[in-house]
Structure 1
Amino acid sequence: MAGVLTRAGGLVLQRVLMLAALLALVFAAVELLPGDAARATSERGETAADLAARRSLLGLDRPLAVRFWDWMSGLPTGDLGMSARGEKVTALLAGPFPQTLLLGGLALLVTAVVSVALGCWAAARPGGAADRGVTASATAVLALPEFVVAVGLLLVLSSWTGWFPAVTLTGADGGVADPSMLVLPVLALAVPQIGWNTRIVRAALADQARAPHLETAVLDGLPPRRVLLFHLLPGALPTIAAGLATSTGMLFGGAVVVETVFNHPGIGTLLTGAVGDRDAPLVAGVVAVTGAVVTGVLLLADLVRARFEGGRA
């Protein structure tokens, strides 16, 4: 137990340090953009003195390292600082981020269910038509960018058939007005990741099929479905979990594009505006909350892998 806790603590520290390094890069990247937050958010007719006062108010006259440290020091208390337009970053994220989290979570769920089902279906018929078809289709699909999938879905499932709405409308609470409006954005995010994870599931099951215990299970006369579900799949779980955890970051990255295409009320529009305003605290706030979710999923995958590897050892 002590060894597991020590390893878990090491994994947590590693992920936290990675997130801190990413946030430092975000601040530096925004700093390298032409212009600054004071000029980007200025009103027409402001003088040089007005811009200088605004830069002082926003702290832009201080070194970048000092500004980053001040911002990071508020993270333990949940303080993400103030935006370039004088609004609390946490308040700006309170509405859009849950919508992005819902979109990404549903896409991850669809990805997990479909990719495991397809991978198992292909593995149950190694070398057969189903195996070849699933593998070829997964390879083709994973190469498609999210915006290409989104446009294709809009053409087929909205413009041509009228089955689903082309854009997302918001209700009185700021959320999606109708659940059917989530279908196309979720599919646009999930389809490329289904291709990627189906290949991972198929490869992991193929590796497990070469394990000695599988031959014993087959010789014992167990039905193929039982062998697949109770002997192959559990051993492949760490690899599958790692693949899905990696897809989490891809899903949140793709959500920015997909939300723009479907007018989904998530962080995509907020992030676009923050980059235009050279608003480092707001951009970093978006990255921080998104990175925290991705880090949590990656940590969970690490713990699953550690648990199974420890069990086999």
Structure 2
Amino acid sequence: MAGPLSADEAVGDGIRPASPAAGLRLAGPALRLGGLLARRALLLAALLALVFVAVELLPGDAADATSERGETAADTARRRELLGLDRPVTERFLDWMTALPTGDLGMSARGERVGDLLSGPFPNTLLLGGLALLVTVVVSLGLGCWAALRPGRAVDRTVSATATAVLALPEFVVAVALVLVLALWMDLLPAVTTAGADGTPASGEMLVLPVLALAIPQIGWNTRIVRAALADEAKAPHVETAVLDGLPPRRVLGHHLLPGALPAIATGLATSTGMLLGGAGVVETFVNYPGVGAVLAGAVADRDTPVIAGVVMVTGAVITCVLLLADLVRARAAGGRI
């Protein structure tokens, strides 16, 4: 049996050995991506630790908050021991984090598995946030590009001023205004959301008000980002050359401005994902939407640390994935450098 070819024989036979430099080029981005994931995971772990400490500092605990009328102090003490509240908060946090890789989010103070408790409401919140993000992407890109095609004109000034005013509005203020106008005055949409037998909104029109309430402030924020990114990219030499060559404005926008502005736009939209999911809790409570907002409000009232941490965990995981996607978009635009 023939032995393995030497390096010289391999080259002579037309088989070129892999270059060590090529392996390093492949390993470099992978290592940087791994480091980025590690930093995101550490940040999320620090946030979860902060949740445990913050709930610990609140007056009372889950045993007191969930006690029944007529319950004795001995009964409350037994529940406190059963929930593990007699142990140090660091020990409880480490136990919870140790079980997390298996998908175990712990037990609530009322004896329900946190994963089961969130399995229904959280997809509803993701639906709400996803639709709001989709509306934000479409409208902010449209308005930003419309203004960029008419720099310095009335349209540009109007879009910029309106976006600045809108981004300052909190979600609950927008929700109040939308309910007042579209539901109570014009009777176009339902003021509250009712859930069907499967726990989802009973009809699609019930999504309109909460989606708009979440999206409108983020449309203002991202329209400003899109307009500023396109204005910066318009100063690039290749864009100025395209304009001097007489290319139509829409072609300059689509082939020269938007590709260069994409990293900044992606970063703004990724940031909006966190804002949308964070604001969803307020809007959901206001319109009685069947999402995690009601679950989180009840958990805070119950001082239920595993439920609060579970909500933060699943929400933080979604936001981390979106931020990672934005990082990859920026890396691709920068030639593969993460």
Q: TM-score, normalised by structure 2?
A: 0.91
Query: Out of 154, 162, 169, which is 1:144 matched to?
Result: 169
2:210 aligned partner, one-letter code: P
2:290 aligned partner, one-letter code: P
Q: How far off is 1:65 after superposition?
A: 0.5
Matched, 1:172 2:197: yes
2:291 aligned partner, one-letter code: G
Aligned residues: 313
1:288 corresponds in structure 2 to 313
2:137 corresponds in structure 1 to 112
Matched, 1:128 2:143: no
Take 1:176 and 1:44, find their aligned partners in 2: how far apart are those partners? 34
> Relative contact order (alpha carbons < 8 A, sep ≥ 6): 1 or 2 greater?
1
**Unpaired stretches in structure 1, ≥5 consecutive residues:** none
Aligned pairs for 1:1-313 (under 5 A) are 1-310=26-335
Q: State the Cα RMSD in Å.
A: 1.2
Q: Does structure 2 conserve the Cα–Cα contact (< 8 Å) formed by 1:11 and 1:302?
A: no
Take 1:174 and 1:112, find their aligned partners in 2: how far apart are those partners? 28
Q: Does structure 1 conserve the Cα–Cα contact (< 8 Å) formed by 2:189 and 2:205?
A: yes
**Unpaired stretches in structure 2, ≥5 consecutive residues:** 1-25
What is the SS of the residue equivalent to 1:148? helix
Q: Does structure 1 conserve the Cα–Cα contact (< 8 Å) formed by 2:233 and 2:261?
A: yes
2:84 aligned partner, one-letter code: G
Take 1:3 and 1:113, find their aligned partners in 2: how far apart are those partners? 35
2:4 corresponds in structure 1 to none
Deviates more, 1:301-310 or 1:290-299: 301-310
Poorly superposed stretches of 4+, deviation over 6 Å = none
What is the SS of the residue equivalent to 1:74? helix
2:292 aligned partner, one-letter code: I
1:84 aligned partner, one-letter code: A
Take 1:151 and 1:255, find their aligned partners in 2: how far apart are those partners? 14
Q: TM-score, normalised by structure 1?
A: 0.98
CA shift digits 1:143-199 (9 cap, x unpaired): 001011001111111111111111111111110110010001000000000000000
Larger radius of gyration: 2
What is the SS of the residue equivalent to 1:310? coil
